[in-house]
Amino acid sequence: MVNFSKSFSVRTKYGAMATVVFASIYVVGAYISRARKMSKEEHQGPRLTRSMSIAVLHGGQLALQRLFEYHEARADKSAVEIAECELKTHLAEQHPDYKKLQSVIGKLEMSGKEAQAVEILKNATAKARNEGRNHEAYEYEMLLVEMLIYKGDFKEALGRECLRHAEISDARRPLFKAIVHIIEGNKNEGTKYWREFNDLKEEFHCTPCMKESMEECQLHKLSTNFNEFEKVVDILRKDIIEVQAKRNKK
């Protein structure tokens, strides 16, 4: 089992310090549970569960960025409330910033607005495709796939066109496929796409180097060890089921 004990601090723009201690893959689950408990206690606080799992599976910078955004959102609860407007604003830009869009997606998951995000991204994808802006359509659709996974719409996620472009060397394609297949109990398919995901990361030199932080190195290990990868996917699966159950009660 990947085992490590390392704490690091995240400073928000308001100067608040938040320390997250990673002791093993189980602490990732404990951290998520802690975030859930804290959001229940504070009612209006942001919730970081599914998007953190996806970020951990990506490994490295995205996971650390999601942790930063979570603590920033706790310092400024309005940050997640305006995320839907942010998404529309960024999509309307002539040259969209895809890193900013990825950040907004995380905020929308925290605020439980993935259904609204799905509709916005579907429209943006269709519009870009109709206007011949194929690269933008592809990027929007990848974000859409992530939101569909959060919603638990796995069949629709796998059916999106962007996941069929095997000629494009994009690690998100096999990553999302691996996640969905593992969640649905198709371990052989999940393992196949997990291997492809890691092969692509190595091809593009996405492995941590000496200058990378200890946190990034350990997060990288979580995504490159299948047993640990599978445990994080199981955390994601349970969180999706929990959110769906709560919505069905309403």
pLDDT in tens, the chain (250 residues): 333 333 333 333 333 333 332 333 444 444 445 444 544 544 444 454 577 777 766 654 565 566 556 555 555 667 667 888 999 999 999 899 998 898 888 888 878 888 999 999 999 999 999 999 999 999 999 999 999 998 999 999 999 999 999 888 898 999 999 999 999 999 999 999 999 998 988 776 555 554 455 555 666 666 778 998 898 888 889 888 988 888 888 6
Is 62 a member of any domain?
Answer: yes
**pLDDT value, residue 75:** 53
Query: Which residues, including other chains, have CB under 8 Å from residue 178's CB and lie 6 or more apart?
Result: 190, 191, 192, 193, 194, 196, 197, 229, 233
What's the pLDDT tens digit per position in 98-154?
988 988 888 888 788 889 999 999 999 999 999 999 999 999 999 999 999 989 999
87 lies in some domain: yes
Residue 163, domain member (yes or no): no
Rounded to 10 degrees, what is the CA torsion of 35, 238, 7, 78?
-30
Amino acid letter, 18: A
Q: Is residue 162 part of a domain?
A: no
Within 8 A by CB and 6+ apart from 100, the residues are 86, 90
Residue 51 lies in a domain: no
Question: Does 233 fall in a domain?
Answer: yes
165 domain-assigned: no
| Within-domain flag for 49 | no
Please tell me the predicted confidence (pLDDT) of residue 120: 96
- Coil, helix or strand at residue 205: coil
**Total count of domains within the chain:** 1
Q: What is the pLDDT of residue 207?
A: 55
Q: Where are the alpha helices (DSSP H) in the chain?
A: 25-42, 50-58, 61-75, 78-81, 83-92, 98-110, 114-130, 134-151, 154-159, 172-183, 187-203, 214-224, 226-249
pTM as predicted = 0.74
Q: What pLDDT does 217 receive?
A: 63
Predicted confidence at residue 173, as pLDDT, reads 94
Q: By residue range, what is the domain housing residue 91? A: 3-41+56-157+170-249
Q: What distance in Å separates the CA atoms of residue 69 and residue 54, rounded to the nearest whole number?
A: 14
